Amino acid sequence: MNATFPTDHITEKLLLQIAATFVGDIEQMPPIYSAIKIDGQAAYVAARNGDEVTMKMRNVTIKEFELTKIDMPLVYFRVVCSKGTYIRSLAYDFGRALNSGAYLASLCRTKIGNFNVKDAKEVDEWVKEIQTPA
């Protein structure tokens, strides 16, 4: 959906207040274009076929929701969350809670399980490691 939403009422104080309400256990509506199975079929398959898709709310946990930069109308944030959390849906819900709209312009997963992007190797490091005889 392409739409324009008001943002004049959004202040840093309001952003911080609303962000705090998202920390903890929340209910989230997964997008219809997700891999969640409905009657044995991925929801996105049914949605792409034009079938009616009814999603159910799911419980997720947001451990941290930190606003890292506010440059209205752009708001940057960092989230630590449970598996099964849809970050694009979180942004959408955040916009609705602000009585406005929101979408993700970019997304970077920095950690999953024990893997952290801080520990990642650059491509050249891998090439050198592969080419170096044991």
pLDDT digits (tens, 9 = 90+) for 48-87: 989 888 999 999 999 999 999 999 999 999 999 999 999 9
Say if CB 25 and CB 59 are below 8 A apart: yes
Give the rounded percent of residues in the chain with a pLDDT score beyond 70: 99
Does 1 score more than 80 pLDDT? no
Q: Are 77 and 19 in contact (CB under 8 A)?
A: yes
Of residues 14 and 1, which shows the higher confidence score? 14
- Can you list the pairs that 95-98 forms with residues at least 24 positions away whose Cβ atoms lie under 8 Å? 95/5, 97/18, 97/21, 97/22, 98/10, 98/14, 98/15, 98/18
For residues 47 and 22, give the distance between their C-alpha atoms in angstroms, rounded to a whole number. Answer: 28
**Dihedral through CA 115, CA 116, CA 119, CA 124, nearest 10?**
90
What Å distances lie between residue 115 and 22, 25, 32, 64, 129, CA to CA? 25, 24, 29, 18, 20
Task: Express each pLDDT in 81-116 by its tens digit.
Answer: 999 999 999 999 999 999 999 999 999 999 988 999
